[in-house]
Structure 1
């Protein structure tokens, strides 16, 4: 069965933590899930990559004809779209998928194991001073456009395609969706500076604020006498 996902087929405003335009050349967008029992938060950001399994990925220079991530023609708006299949073994057929991983691997009537789908927007997966992330999903169907929660389905012979677009997302874990307007769940954790961006559909957040230069200078000045005393 096919899962089509993305932001929109037309460009929309996407920004980084300080309100500057998001450049597709600097970012990757992935659809996937976390390992069972892992709950993504800002506090465990360093563990996201190790617990993440990729269903599909969209890059600015993607060679997969099903994927696209670029500026709108003649404009500054950005859009990304992708599609991949979930096969009868509950595995993705995407060339970017994590090898050997299954999505919602145990169907009823046995104790079911289902995977919540997330979209992860990032400039890098490493947790560093300039890391910009957004992570969002549809938990309850309460987005601006109604839609079923994003749960990787069990594949049967008559399974229908899934459409998971940003307009139906209702929860930001990190970053902001839908300009942060309409629900407190549209704004997640993370650090933001600069002007508001209520007209943006996605705003990535910097994981941690950069220390002020003055703070570092005070620390260094305070450390000099300490080092001198230790050497005396």
Structure 2
């Protein structure tokens, strides 16, 4: 993620770039990439490209070859030509909601310390699926514990670990359905809390808020039965 603006500064809302590719399906690749491509349960960013007095609405972003961000136009329209200098503009309100929900789901995995079998991030809502044969007996207690972690306003930071180091610490990987991407030699870790205040550390390539207090008011939604061994726990930003 060091080659991508969304990994260097998740709060950056716009940035210049150069068109380096167009796809047969009508997508466009701009570098350096500001738009986060769909992955790990987090939707791709949307927004706009501007160049030479023109504007192109971007509906979503998907991951291309080599981890590139392919910008998908909202409707068929002329694309900026190869080599064009453009301005990338995020739909910041939507991205920020994804960031808040994503960080809240990391905290939910702390409150419910069970293997995660799936997850999804939305605009103000999110969910994790847990390996949980029986529904939780204390729903209110889970919600209160989640709110308490948000209110502690813990710092959220990132770092890196080698693939060999991660192999030696398998407990860091909470998600059973999605394994950290390999091949680059190192894997990004997201840490919540520092020093004795640390509450979570796990591999993650998504975007997050800088402190848990920024998540704001959050509450539990439905807890659904998704099979003999699975329970889906939903959260909602209030």
TM-score over 0.5 (shorter chain): no
Range class of TM-score, shorter chain: under 0.3
Of the two structures, which has the highest relative contact order with CA contacts closer than 8 Å and spacing of 6 or more? Answer: 1
Q: As a proportion of its length, which structure holds more helix?
A: 2
Q: Say which one has the larger Rg.
A: 1
